[in-house]
């Protein structure tokens, strides 16, 4: 399993648990969790940007451009982004007042996001990473992993 993926799996689960545990009205704790979300969000955005920049171009130039797996990965990236955009709108609403309804909305969106993310990560590890291993050069592979690892977020507390 990719080390960046391990971090995203762990942190997506932690965000759900941490947000669900925030008592209504606890704006200080909601602000801490909202900041964790923003860090996580930035790390995931950078991870996907590294793939867009360093993974897709060489694969599309070396593998049949209609390869189902690469197109499926791009579609999954888009689905992950849609969920994150929903969270981008919901998290600040929750953060400002720490209301129970807003918290529950954030938790539900985080659960949905995690389901889509795990589907993508599982599929990527099973189908795309072996393809990348076969078609990327060692320097390309190292650059991709280095870019992704630099942007991973630390564990949350």
User: What are the chain's domains?
Assistant: 3-150 (1.20.120.520)
Please classify residue 148 by burial: count the beta carbons closer than 10 Å to its beta carbon, then call 0-12 exposed, 13-18 middle and 19+ buried.
Answer: buried
Rounded to whole angstroms, the Cα distance separating 39 from 142 reads 24
Q: What integer pLDDT is reported at residue 143 of this predicted model?
A: 84
Q: Please determine, for residue 151, whether its predicted confidence score (pLDDT) is greater than 70.
A: no
Q: Please determine, for residue 84, whether its predicted confidence score (pLDDT) is greater than 90.
A: yes
pLDDT band at residue 1, thresholds of 50, 70 and 90? Answer: low
pLDDT mean across residues, the chain:
88
Q: Please determine, for residue 39, whether its predicted confidence score (pLDDT) is greater than 70.
A: yes
> Per the confidence metrics, is the pTM higher than 0.85?
yes
pLDDT digit string, tens, across residues 45-72: 988 888 888 887 888 788 775 578 878 8
**Phi and psi for 151 in degrees, rounded to 5?**
-105, 5
Q: What integer pLDDT is reported at residue 132 of this predicted model?
A: 83
CB 130 within 8 A of CB 67: no
Percent above pLDDT 70 for the chain: 91
Q: What integer pLDDT is reported at residue 65 of this predicted model?
A: 54
């Amino acid at each position: 399993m990719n080390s960046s993926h391990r971090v995203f799996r762990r942190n997506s689960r932690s965000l759900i648990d941490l947000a669900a545990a925030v008592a209504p009205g606890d704006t200080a704790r909601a602000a801490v969790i909202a900041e964790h979300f923003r860090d996580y969000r930035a790390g995931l955005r950078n991870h996907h940007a590294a793939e867009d920049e360093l993974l897709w171009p060489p694969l599309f130039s070396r593998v049949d451009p209609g390869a189902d797996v690469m197109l499926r990965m791009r579609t999954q990236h888009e689905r992950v982004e849609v969920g994150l955009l929903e969270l981008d709108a919901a998290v600040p609403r929750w953060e400002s007042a720490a209301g129970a309804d807003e918290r529950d909305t954030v938790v539900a969106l985080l659960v949905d996001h995690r389901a889509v993310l795990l589907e993508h990560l599982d599929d990527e590890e099973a189908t795309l990473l072996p393809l990348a291993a076969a078609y990327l050069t060692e320097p390309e592979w190292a650059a991709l992993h280095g870019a992704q690892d630099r942007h991973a977020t630390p564990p949350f507390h």
